[in-house]
Homo-oligomer: A and B are copies of this chain.
Amino acid sequence: MGSIRIIALPGLPLFAPGDDLTGAIAEALERAELALADGDVLVAAQKIISKVEGRAVVLADVAPTPAALELAERTGKYPALAQLILDESQVIMRARQGVVIARHLLGHVAANAGIDASNVADADGETVLLWPVDPDASARRLRRQLESRFGVKIAVVISDSLGRAWRMGTIGTAIGASGLGTLIDRRGETDLFGRVLQATLVARADELAAAASLVIGEAAEGTPVALIRGASYIRDETQGIGPTLRPLNEDMFT
């Protein structure tokens, strides 16, 4: 019988640039009397990765270009925020009053190019958080440091709450990963009746991020990291989130 546990790591501090995230996570695990075990998956909210990596930007420091002023005019976004969205994007896919959907430099499609203005330590709302420059590398670093500290093999997923084209509400989604095959390819396996499965490619990293979002950010005090124990995945030390991004030449909705 398969059984999986999702555990919110308690008592993590607020993070600032340069903080030792690995140390803080290790301490939180120890306080909870949890030792990492082989096969564990740690899901960390993008927000804390961005914070320790110094990705907060003061909007007042951003000088909007004419393109940003035009985007701001069209959408009602602050011009400086519009500039950051442009800076973080390959292309703006849709823009209308209150909404900007962009393809981020990393290839993910996200509202505001993933820029989030909540939970940043600036009460007047003038600081925003950009995504990590390379979330796969952030995940790899965290994975290796935790593996070496605990003497285990684990996977790490960096998640953000993203919207979807035809559905309301956000869902935890992987924007970086290390230690696992982010897609599981079942094509060629057979079903219960011996027939070959045609189109079963499973977005395992996204499923893990979504499962973690049942606890991440739930408590008022903030729970940015979840431990998932017992989930099956394929160990892969080289793959990142890339295979989960649909190639542009297969994209039918740009």
Q: Which A residues are closer than 8 A to B by beta carbons? A: 1-8, 10, 14, 32, 94, 96, 99, 101, 103, 108-109, 111, 117-123, 125, 161, 164-173, 183-184, 191-195, 197-204, 206-208, 210-211, 213-215, 218-219, 221-223, 228, 231-232, 243-246, 251-253
Docked Cα-Cα span, A194 to B253, in Å, equals 38
- Would A210 and B171 count as touching, CB distance under 8 A? yes
- Would B214 and A207 count as touching, CB distance under 8 A? yes
- Would B170 and A200 count as touching, CB distance under 8 A? yes
Q: Name the CB-closest residue of B to A223.
A: B2
- Would B231 and A214 count as touching, CB distance under 8 A? yes
CB distance from A162 to the nearest CB of B (A): 9
Docked Cα-Cα span, A3 to B96, in Å, equals 40
Contact of A3 among B5, B161, B210, B251 (CB under 8 A): B5
- Would A170 and B123 count as touching, CB distance under 8 A? no
A-B CB proximity, top 7 nearest: A169-B203, A210-B210, A211-B211, A2-B8, A4-B6, A109-B166, A165-B253
- Would B170 and A4 count as touching, CB distance under 8 A? no
Residues in B whose Cβ lies below 8 Å from that of A8: 1-3
- Would A191 and B2 count as touching, CB distance under 8 A? no
Q: Name the CB-closest residue of B to A210.
A: B210
Docked Cα-Cα span, A226 to B184, in Å, equals 20
Docked Cα-Cα span, A203 to B172, in Å, equals 9
- Would B244 and A207 count as touching, CB distance under 8 A? no
- Would A4 and B244 count as touching, CB distance under 8 A? no
Residues in B whose Cβ lies below 8 Å from that of A244: 167-169
Most buried by B among A172, A228, A253: A253
Docked Cα-Cα span, A171 to B208, in Å, equals 10
Q: A8-B1, A168-B183 are in contact. Are A14 and B192 (CB under 8 A)?
A: yes
Docked Cα-Cα span, A123 to B194, in Å, equals 7
CB distance from A216 to the nearest CB of B (A): 9
Contacts beyond the supplied A1-B10, A3-B7, A119-B191: 8 A-B pairs with Cβ under 8 Å? A3-B6, A4-B215, A117-B198, A118-B191, A169-B202, A206-B210, A210-B210, A214-B231
Q: Name the CB-closest residue of B to A28.
A: B1
